[in-house]
Amino acid sequence: MPVLVLLRHGQAAWNLDDRFAGWWDVDLTPQGVAEAVAAGALLEKKGFEFDFCFASVQTRAIRTLNLALEVMQQDWLPIEKNWHLNERHYGALTGLTKAEATLKHGNDRMQTWLRSFDIAPPPLADPELDLARDRRYAGVPLPDAECLSDTTDRVIRYWNARIAPELRADKNVLVSAHGNSVGALVRHLSNLTPSEIAALGVPAGEPIVFELDEDLTPIHRYSLSQEC
């Protein structure tokens, strides 16, 4: 039976600043590096062996995956990177701290944008944060803002197209992504409501393990550190 492990990247620079990053590319902090290394050490200690890996095209997810695999001595594994696994695009909130965004837009609007499943923040308007010239997004229909539903839809399209077929081929898969993209996969596999996944949370650097049957129905889901 295949095993799927989902890993949210370690702390990134704008996480430390309590700043909305979304699709903007920021690197791991030293703490984020330590979290990625610790995740790899925990997976290695528990004897996990993988056959295929996936990541978003964002540096914080890619570095988390590479660091974890190096610790496991499995950095030879094939890795597919795809923008469908990117973090939610926060639109006009991108680059603002949560305090700055709340002061600018008000707490009620902020709670609506962040907690509603189908209401997006205002579109990105800052030309300094425009990704149109970023080569990794050549040919990609760039969003200018996403609600949680938008993020979930693209993640599940990719799940159906690429991740699920690898698991159906009886391969163990490791996915390194982001709070909202990992959350979308957890919600999809466990049939959780948006409010249930919000309550669950997706901690940085915490491997979430799914033991699946041949139909990819979860037999068991657990956070690896809580099993130790």
User: Which residues are part of a known binding site for substrate?
Assistant: 60, 87-90, 98, 179-180
Please state the residue numbers annotated as binding site: 60, 87-90, 98, 179-180
Burial 133-147 (b: 16+ CB within 10 A, else e): eeeeeeeeeebbbbb
**The two structure tokens encoding residue 150:** 């938008």
CB atoms within 10 A of CB 99: 10
DSSP state at residue 159: I
Pairing mode of beta strands 173-177, 208-212: unpaired
**81 neighbors 60 (Cβ within 8 angstroms):** no
Helix (H) or strand (E) holding 59: helix 59-72
Looking at the annotation, which residues are catalytic? 9, 87
**The two structure tokens encoding residue 137:** 């997004």
CB atoms within 10 A of CB 132: 9
Cα–Cα distance, 20 to 59 (Å, whole number): 16
Cα–Cα distance, 6 to 28 (Å, whole number): 18
Cα–Cα distance, 66 to 68 (Å, whole number): 6
